[in-house]
């Protein structure tokens, strides 16, 4: 790999780092923000608007980059993200901060998609596997240090600087991309399908809002069921539009059986990923009573072995079929989830570290291979749209995963205490002093254990879906 490609990779890693830091660092600042801006009742919108605009951007910017070139759109995306960050830091009211978070999410979603597409453009398959592994590690590191960094900023400065911290990183990324990204880009002559893009955006809005509302409302309520029905209606309209346009938003090849299976596995895989990120650290703290610093035990091994798996994949990607690699990777992932199911309140953190490492091996092989299959199926002109589609599916998977596993955890806690006729609100369980602490720990363990069982079942379903894929091999000289 020459110096130019190394600099581009570093620039892309910087973009990934920005996105990872921004997602988690804000959580540390929320108490200060709502206290300063008197907006406790609006605090959830700071996350939902970010997620919504990010999901919209993953599909739209993927298609736009196919039409107008990756480099230009990536630079524009970074500008949007920097602008959103500055507006967030300068906000003096909750409504303005919410709008600014929407701008920031738009830039973040576009950056995530274009980073994946650029890696697919510039790097050959062998290098791409390693770069994707490094990229995943950067994401994990960013998410890991962000809360610590946020705490230091809040102590030394103010919550405004939580948003300003990414501005210099974004400027550095833009400079590196401008100077180092000299690869010739293939631009499509397709026309932009504005009707299709608008309808697809409405579908995304309905789905994200329905999934976000699922944790608090019944599936039959207008907040969930009504929006789901609207999403189905808009999907029907979208398919009608796409059949009658010369250059559809979503390439025809993305409707094939193989890609449909890949998208389903990507969706399910992402639900497990968000569960690992959210519930493994909290299991160590809330059930086993370890301090926050021990929360790195499940995160670090998963990240490290994700990279290890990516290196292994880069060596053997041409020797075995994509189906075989996926089945092995997903089986390893399921084995790791099985280990988590066996954890007890007295289990050593070492065991969670080992199981997380196994899960990291599974993620490194499966996530990379799923992306490769999609990028290889479509033409070079559609690689941005393909990358955007799989990133969108991953976003939906993580969104639904948080809601679904949160519901499992909370309902398990309520069910545990219902046996003793105690009515409890899971949201306040950690601060509840009226109930014996031992009983609280037992109820939490029951909830986390059910979450891990859910992850295991999802992992097994992923393996079953992988069996439906054809036994294709990636060409040796592809993209070199």
For 66-107, the pLDDT digits (tens) are 777 777 888 888 899 999 889 988 888 888 888 888 898 888
Most confident of 213-222, 288-297, 396-405, 420-429: 396-405
**Predicted confidence band of residue 334 (pLDDT cuts 50, 70, 90):** very high
Predicted local confidence at residue 342, as pLDDT = 93
Summarised one tens digit per residue, pLDDT across range 161-183 is 888 888 888 888 888 777 777 65
**Predicted confidence band of residue 143 (pLDDT cuts 50, 70, 90):** low
Length of the chain: 480
Q: What topology does CATH give the domain 252-480?
A: Growth Hormone; Chain: A; (1.20.1250)
Predicted local confidence at residue 395, as pLDDT = 77
The predicted model gives 291-304 an average pLDDT of 71
Predicted local confidence at residue 349, as pLDDT = 86
Summarised one tens digit per residue, pLDDT across range 352-377 is 889 999 998 998 888 878 877 877 77
Most confident of 190-194, 214-218, 374-378, 402-406: 402-406
What's the CA gap between 21 and 27, in Å, rounded? 10
**Predicted confidence band of residue 477 (pLDDT cuts 50, 70, 90):** very low
What's the CA gap between 99 and 282, in Å, rounded? 31
Summarised one tens digit per residue, pLDDT across range 19-28 is 777 766 776 6
Say what the pTM is.
0.74
Closest residue by Cα to residue 197 from 301, 309, 57, 356: 57
User: Which residues, in sequence order, are CB contacts of 220 under 8 Å at separation 6+?
Assistant: none
What dotted CATH number matches 1-182?
1.20.1250.20
Predicted local confidence at residue 464, as pLDDT = 94
- Give the angle subtended at the CA of 29 by the CAs of 25 and 30, to the nearest 5°: 115
Residue 480 clears pLDDT 60, i.e. is over it: no
> Which residue do the tokens 């974004």 mark?
170
Domain with CATH 1.20.1250.20 in the chain: 1-182, 252-480
User: Which residues, in sequence order, are CB contacts of 435 under 8 Å at separation 6+?
Assistant: 417, 422, 424
Which range is least confidently modeled, 110-114, 258-262, 385-389?
A: 385-389
User: Which residues, in sequence order, are CB contacts of 184 under 8 Å at separation 6+?
Assistant: none
Predicted local confidence at residue 251, as pLDDT = 63
What's the CA gap between 88 and 101, in Å, rounded? 6
Percent of all residues in the chain with a pLDDT value above 70, rounded to a whole number = 78
Predicted local confidence at residue 376, as pLDDT = 73
């Amino acid at each position: 790999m020459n110096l130019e490609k190394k600099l581009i990779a570093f620039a892309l890693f910087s973009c990934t780092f920005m996105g990872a830091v921004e997602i988690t660092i804000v959580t540390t600042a929320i108490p200060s923000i709502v206290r300063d801006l008197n907006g406790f009742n609006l605090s959830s919108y700071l996350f939902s608007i970010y997620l919504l605009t990010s999901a919209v951007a993953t599909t739209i910017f993927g298609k736009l980059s196919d039409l107008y070139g990756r480099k230009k759109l990536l630079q524009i995306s970074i500008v949007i993200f920097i602008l959103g960050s500055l507006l967030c830091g300068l906000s003096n009211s909750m409504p303005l901060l919410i709008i600014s978070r929407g701008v920031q999410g738009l830039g973040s979603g576009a950056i995530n998609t274009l980073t994946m597409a650029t890696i697919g453009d510039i790097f050959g398959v062998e290098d791409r596997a390693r770069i994707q592994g490094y990229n995943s590690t950067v994401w994990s590191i960013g998410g890991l240090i962000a809360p610590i960094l946020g705490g230091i900023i809040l102590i030394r400065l103010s919550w405004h600087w939580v948003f300003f911290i990414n501005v210099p990183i974004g400027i550095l990324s833009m400079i590196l991309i401008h100077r180092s990204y000299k690869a010739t880009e293939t631009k499509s002559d397709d026309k932009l399908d504005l009707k299709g893009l608008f309808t697809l955006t409405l579908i995304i809005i309905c789905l994200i809002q329905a999934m976000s509302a699922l944790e608090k409302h019944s599936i039959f309520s207008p907040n969930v069921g009504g929006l789901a029905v609207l999403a189905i209606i808009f999907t029907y309209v979208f398919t009608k539009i796409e059949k009658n346009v010369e250059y559809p938003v979503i390439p025809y090849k993305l409707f094939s059986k193989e890609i449909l299976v890949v998208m389903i596995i990507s969706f399910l895989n992402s639900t497990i990923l968000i569960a690992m990120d959210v519930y493994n650290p909290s299991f160590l703290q809330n059930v086993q009573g370890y301090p926050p610093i021990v929360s790195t035990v499940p995160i670090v091994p998963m990240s490290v072995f994700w990279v290890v798996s990516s290196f292994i994949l880069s060596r053997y990607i041409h020797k075995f079929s994509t189906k075989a690699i996926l089945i092995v990777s997903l089986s390893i992932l399921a084995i790791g989830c099985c280990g988590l199911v066996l954890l007890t309140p007295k289990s050593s953190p070492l065991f969670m570290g080992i199981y997380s490492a196994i899960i990291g091996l599974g993620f490194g092989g499966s996530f990379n291979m799923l992306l490769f299959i999609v990028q290889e199926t479509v033409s070079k002109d559609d690689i941005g749209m393909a990358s955007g589609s799989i990133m969108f599916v991953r976003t939906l998977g993580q969104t639904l995963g948080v809601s679904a596993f949160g519901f499992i955890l909370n309902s398990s806690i309520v069910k545990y205490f219902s046996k003793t006729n105690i009515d409890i609100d899971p949201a306040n369980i950690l601060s509840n002093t009226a109930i014996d602490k031992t009983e609280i720990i037992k109820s939490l363990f029951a909830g986390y254990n059910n979450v891990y069982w859910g992850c295991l079942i999802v992992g097994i379903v992923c393996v079953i879906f992988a069996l439906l894929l054809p036994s294709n091999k990636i060409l040796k000289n592809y993209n070199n």
